[in-house]
A and B are shown apart, each in its own frame.
Chain A
């Protein structure tokens, strides 16, 4: 616990708050309000849990971007998973996906009327399920960012090594750097700097952001999840904004290396290739996803069962898309805390334990 407490030290926090206050004052003198976005669900939760927003000066705003893999999962994808469950296949998934509404219904609804939905704590559980039920197809809902992709890919590899023929993967993997690119070029989105994710960066390495930063000249800091990490990250972004020299700073160098996790990257590269991906509320971003390579297509559930991932129509009242783009803070959504709450979520940002609406609901309602 000594290691953790060091990153929550009240004296160090006071020092950082003073520094941030001084930097913000200089920005305020130039009549600048800065909007900083985190694109990682664990940052979203940490910011809410430690009350970081409340210690920041008024002209420093924190926005939660598309950082939670459940939140960016398209309605059409949920619809497809429900349809596959209704065809009698076993859907294996992380628990957060159960309550995400597709075009109306959820996987939990499908389960309550007899659909087979198995919650996995580890993606490897899907292999066990397939081996125990050889006559039934097990379809794993392969969602996630670069953090989750390697362990799921390891399951594909294991299934292939075992020669299993009754397991497949409905892939909707998402990549962070193309999302940053899309947010930066979207005229509706106004972000002055990014707090880059911690665990994703541990996989892809800090160098993965360099082309983005050089092309778009947006300040970026890779930050850890402890409160001092995040305050350091914010301070770093403000310094860059004042100096006018945007760069990539790796504040989380105790975990994130320049080159990332080579073994994980090699595993991904051997099994996956780039693909366009549809992000809930944002739309299709070119090359922002990964799909199974041609030699592994027999494990691709969409290929195997002729699934077309299109045409989902989420609840029209839901503003999760605007929340994910930082255009709307969760409490500004008319449904927040009323029609939409954690017991009865309307949109994915309220479902996921890492969703920005869930974070606001839990910690600052």
Chain B
């Protein structure tokens, strides 16, 4: 089906849902998908002389540039660090490319660069190369950032979506959707969102903690655009199993829930920027959960679902005992949240 209505790019093509997937499959994978891009992992594992590297990239266009709990700089470091980490790498080096709009206050840029420096230090990555461009007023919105990251593979850890099997369990490292809701609240001036902060954070320590049981870690992904729903649907796509998620087990912050209820948004569709979804063998769930709960970023970790059930379908067992499908968002839910 041709979903590119009128053959133009829609905002929805950037939403991380079905339209994004169609665009990438039809236009990117068809041209570049034979090599390491195959299967669209968060990061590529590339063979080099003497070993392997993990390589990933991400661009950041969030509005506003600064939001409760973070800014575009922190996000630009965490986004790429996390993509490298969930691909089984220890992040080491980052590239940093800035596209700056004429007129951006220098003080604001300094603040964001300081934030990048601080986040890089926390993640143990070095900004190794970069680029700066300035475009005329109106040709971008303040500041866009691209980062690419290189990491070294963690021994024995080779997460791969193909390893997932019936019986495995799905673990979430913490409350889902805080980032998307915090940015949305900041942008729309939703006063009742008081106390809600973006969850932007690195997940590499969580990955290392889980790597103790590397053999049993099947798959990891940070649920960014499209939220947990997009990740869960990716897990079951084209497979002969499904996933059943327990609504009562889903970790959410009360503030994000309050906003989502008012706006009628399903938090399963909302982005996090410092969370991890991990699929592992069931007998290992307890160990990984305990290891995560010992870390501040994993204190609210929870087992949220099981790989089972209907072929290719993600189902939610609701609090009242009903069942319904968890679909991927179609187009754009919240534009420019990362």
Chain A residues proximal to chain B, CB less than 8 Å = 1, 4, 8-10, 13-14, 17, 48-55, 112, 227-228, 231, 342-343, 353, 362-365
The answer on a CB contact under 8 Å between B248 and A51 is: no
Q: A171 to B254, alpha carbons, bound, how many Å? A: 40
When each residue 126-145 of chain B gets 1 if its CB lies under 8 Å from chain A and 0 otherwise, what string results? 00000000000000000000
User: Would you list which residues of chain B between 307 and 336 have a CB under 8 Å from chain A?
Assistant: 316-325, 327, 330-331
The answer on a CB contact under 8 Å between A227 and B319 is: yes
The answer on a CB contact under 8 Å between A363 and B325 is: yes
The interface size bin for chain B is: 20 to 34
The answer on a CB contact under 8 Å between B320 and A228 is: yes
The answer on a CB contact under 8 Å between B322 and A55 is: yes
Q: A66 to B36, alpha carbons, bound, how many Å? A: 51
The answer on a CB contact under 8 Å between A51 and B330 is: no
* Minimum CB distance partner of A112 in chain B: B6
Q: A111 to B324, alpha carbons, bound, how many Å? A: 35
User: Would you list which residues of chain B between 251 and 275 have a CB under 8 Å from chain A?
Assistant: 254, 257-258, 261, 264
* Minimum CB distance partner of A231 in chain B: B320
* Minimum CB distance partner of A13 in chain B: B320
The answer on a CB contact under 8 Å between A363 and B324 is: yes
Pick the contact of A51 from B257, B316, B327 — CB < 8 Å?
B316
Which residues of A have CB within 8 Å of B323? Answer: 51, 54
Q: A13 to B322, alpha carbons, bound, how many Å? A: 10
Pick the contact of B325 from A9, A50, A362 — CB < 8 Å?
A362
When each residue 181-199 of chain B gets 1 if its CB lies under 8 Å from chain A and 0 otherwise, what string results? 0000000000000000000
B3 contacts the other chain (CB 8 A): yes
Q: List 10 A-B contacts (CB under 8 A).
A: A1-B257, A1-B258, A17-B320, A49-B324, A50-B318, A50-B322, A51-B318, A227-B318, A342-B330, A362-B327
A6 smallest CB distance to B (angstroms): 12
B18 contacts the other chain (CB 8 A): yes
B247 smallest CB distance to A (angstroms): 9
B50 smallest CB distance to A (angstroms): 48
Which 5 pairs across A and B sit closest by C-beta, in order of nearness? A51-B322, A13-B320, A363-B324, A51-B324, A227-B320
The answer on a CB contact under 8 Å between A50 and B6 is: no
Q: A10 to B318, alpha carbons, bound, how many Å? A: 9
The answer on a CB contact under 8 Å between A48 and B324 is: yes
Chain B residues proximal to chain A, CB less than 8 Å = 3, 6, 18-19, 248, 254, 257-258, 261, 264, 316-325, 327, 330-331
Q: Which of B258, B319, B320 has the most A CB atoms < 10 Å from its CB? A: B320
Known contacts A343-B3, A343-B18, A343-B330; is A53 also within 8 Å of B319 by CB?
A: no
* Minimum CB distance partner of B248 in chain A: A10
Q: A118 to B70, alpha carbons, bound, how many Å? A: 34
Q: A1 to B259, alpha carbons, bound, how many Å? A: 10
The answer on a CB contact under 8 Å between B327 and A363 is: yes
A362 smallest CB distance to B (angstroms): 6
A17-B320, A52-B320 provided; 11 other pairs, C-beta below 8 A?
A1-B254, A8-B320, A9-B319, A10-B248, A10-B319, A50-B324, A51-B323, A55-B321, A343-B19, A353-B264, A365-B325
Which residues of A have CB within 8 Å of B257? Answer: 1, 4
* Minimum CB distance partner of B22 in chain A: A343
B181 smallest CB distance to A (angstroms): 13
The answer on a CB contact under 8 Å between A8 and B319 is: yes
Which residues of B have CB within 8 Å of A363? Answer: 324-325, 327
Known contacts A4-B261, A51-B318, A343-B3; is A364 also within 8 Å of B325 by CB?
A: yes
Which residues of A have CB within 8 Å of B322? Answer: 50-55, 227
Q: Which of B3, B317, B318, B330 has the most A CB atoms < 10 Å from its CB? A: B318
The answer on a CB contact under 8 Å between A51 and B254 is: no
Q: A18 to B6, alpha carbons, bound, how many Å? A: 52
B327 smallest CB distance to A (angstroms): 6
Which residues of A have CB within 8 Å of B317? Answer: 51
A193 smallest CB distance to B (angstroms): 20
Q: A231 to B319, alpha carbons, bound, how many Å? A: 13
The answer on a CB contact under 8 Å between A10 and B321 is: yes
* Minimum CB distance partner of A228 in chain B: B320
* Minimum CB distance partner of B12 in chain A: A343
Which residues of A have CB within 8 Å of B254? Answer: 1
Q: A231 to B318, alpha carbons, bound, how many Å? A: 14
Pick the contact of B321 from A1, A4, A17 — CB < 8 Å?
A17
The answer on a CB contact under 8 Å between B319 and A13 is: yes
Q: A8 to B261, alpha carbons, bound, how many Å? A: 13
A221 smallest CB distance to B (angstroms): 18
A46 smallest CB distance to B (angstroms): 11
A79 smallest CB distance to B (angstroms): 21
Q: A227 to B324, alpha carbons, bound, how many Å? A: 13
B232 smallest CB distance to A (angstroms): 15
Which residues of B have CB within 8 Å of A54? Answer: 322-324
Known contacts A51-B316, A342-B330, A343-B3; is A13 also within 8 Å of B261 by CB?
A: no
Which residues of B have CB within 8 Å of A49? Answer: 318, 324
A12 smallest CB distance to B (angstroms): 9
Which residues of B have CB within 8 Å of A343? Answer: 3, 18-19, 330-331
Q: A182 to B320, alpha carbons, bound, how many Å? A: 34
Which residues of B have CB within 8 Å of A51? Answer: 316-318, 320-324
Which residues of B have CB within 8 Å of A4? Answer: 257, 261
Which residues of B have CB within 8 Å of A231? Answer: 320
The answer on a CB contact under 8 Å between A14 and B325 is: no
Known contacts A112-B6, A343-B3, A343-B330; is A14 also within 8 Å of B324 by CB?
A: no
Q: A188 to B197, alpha carbons, bound, how many Å? A: 54
Q: A231 to B317, alpha carbons, bound, how many Å? A: 17
* Minimum CB distance partner of B258 in chain A: A1
Q: A292 to B322, alpha carbons, bound, how many Å? A: 44
Q: A358 to B116, alpha carbons, bound, how many Å? A: 43
Which residues of B have CB within 8 Å of A364? Answer: 324-325
* Minimum CB distance partner of B331 in chain A: A343
Q: A193 to B264, alpha carbons, bound, how many Å? A: 28
* Minimum CB distance partner of B264 in chain A: A353
Which residues of A have CB within 8 Å of B318? Answer: 49-51, 227
Which residues of B have CB within 8 Å of A10? Answer: 248, 319-321
* Minimum CB distance partner of A8 in chain B: B319
Which residues of B have CB within 8 Å of A365? Answer: 325, 327
Which residues of B have CB within 8 Å of A227? Answer: 318-320, 322
Q: Which of B6, B317, B324, B330 has the most A CB atoms < 10 Å from its CB? A: B324
Q: A17 to B317, alpha carbons, bound, how many Å? A: 15
